[in-house]
Each structure stands twice: as structure tokens, then as C-alpha cells.
């Protein structure tokens, strides 16, 4: 039998898509890579990268295909290997 997590009340996170308030342990964290560039084709071209972390509720994460069930993920990995 698995032990229960005894952390008390979890901090509420706001879903980036719908605005729903979800406990942190039930939300899905997604890091997006953001790129800024001056788009110059010379030596003076400046590029910067940074990550923005966003939290989504389960329903929005499923709709945006960020979160999938473990079973379907494993099946996709097996198909790629073959």
C-alpha cells in the first residue's frame, strides 16, 4: 500500500490556458523555450534563449497534447524503436 503524501495544503497554481486554479501537485509544468533574434545575417546577429515555465490543468494539458497517459507514451516509444 502506497504512503500518502503529508505535505499539508498545496499552493494553488493558475492554469496558463483557462485560468483555473489547480493545486501544484495536480498541475502539469511545461517549459517553453523562447528565442529572441535580431535576424541579421552578419556577425552582429544577437540571439538569446530563455525558458518560460507555465502550469496547466490536466484538461488543458491533454487538449494541447502536453500531457499524455503513460501507457500511450510507452507505446509510442516502442513504435519508434522498431
Q: Check whether 1 has a pLDDT greater than 60.
A: no
Q: State pLDDT tens for residues 7-60.
A: 678 899 999 999 999 999 899 999 988 888 877 777 778 888 899 999 999 999
Beta-carbon count within 10 A of 61 CB: 21
Output the pLDDT for position 20: 96
Residue 18: DSSP 8-state: T
Cα separation of 72 and 14, whole Å?
27
The model's pTM is 0.63
- What pairs with residue 30 in β-bridges? 54
Query: How is the chain split among helix, strand and coil, in percent rounded to 5?
Result: 25, 30, 45
Cα separation of 55 and 79, whole Å?
29
Output the pLDDT for position 81: 74
Residue 40: DSSP 8-state: -
Output the pLDDT for position 5: 66
Amino acid at each position: 500500500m502506497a504512503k500518502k503524501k503529508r505535505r499539508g495544503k498545496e499552493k494553488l497554481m493558475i492554469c496558463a490556458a483557462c485560468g483555473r486554479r489547480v493545486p501544484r501537485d495536480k498541475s502539469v509544468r511545461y517549459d517553453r523555450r523562447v528565442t529572441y533574434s535580431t535576424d541579421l545575417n552578419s556577425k552582429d546577429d544577437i540571439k538569446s534563449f530563455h525558458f518560460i515555465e507555465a502550469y496547466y490543468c490536466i484538461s488543458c494539458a491533454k487538449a494541447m497534447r502536453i500531457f499524455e497517459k503513460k501507457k500511450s507514451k510507452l507505446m509510442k516509444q516502442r513504435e519508434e524503436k522498431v
